[in-house]
A and B are shown apart, each in its own frame.
Chain A
Amino acid sequence: QKEVEQNSGPLSVPEGAIASLNCTYSDRGSQSFFWYRQYSGKSPELIMSIYSNGDKEDGRFTAQLNKASQYVSLLIRDSQPSDSATYLCAVKSNSGYALNFGKGTSLLVTP
Chain B
Amino acid sequence: GAGVSQSPRYKVAKRGQDVALRCDPISGHVSLFWYQQALGQGPEFLTYFQNEAQLDKSGLPSDRFFAERPEGSVSTLKIQRTQQEDSAVYLCASSSPQRGGTDTQYFGPGTRLTVL
Q: A residues within 8 Å of B by Cβ? A: 4, 31-32, 34, 36, 42-46, 49, 51, 88, 90, 92-94, 96-104
Q: Is B59's CB under 8 angstroms from A101's CB?
A: no
The answer to whether A103 and B104 touch (CB under 8 A), given A42-B109, A97-B31, A98-B56, is no
**Shortest Cβ-Cβ A-B pairs, 8 listed:** A101-B42, A98-B45, A43-B107, A97-B48, A32-B101, A44-B107, A103-B42, A43-B109
| B25 proximal to A (CB < 8 A) | no
List residues of chain A with CB within 8 A of the CB of B102.
32, 49, 51
Q: Per-position contact with A for B67-104: 1 when CB-CB < 8 Å, else 0? A: 00000000000000000000000010100000011101
Please report the C-alpha to C-alpha distance between residue A45 and residue B106 in the assembled complex, in whole angstroms. Answer: 7
Q: Per-position contact with A for B1-40: 1 when CB-CB < 8 Å, else 0? A: 0000000000000000000000000000001010100001
- Our pick among A31, A42, A46, A98 for the contact of B59 (Cβ within 8 Å) is A98
Q: Is A104's CB under 8 angstroms from B107's CB?
A: no
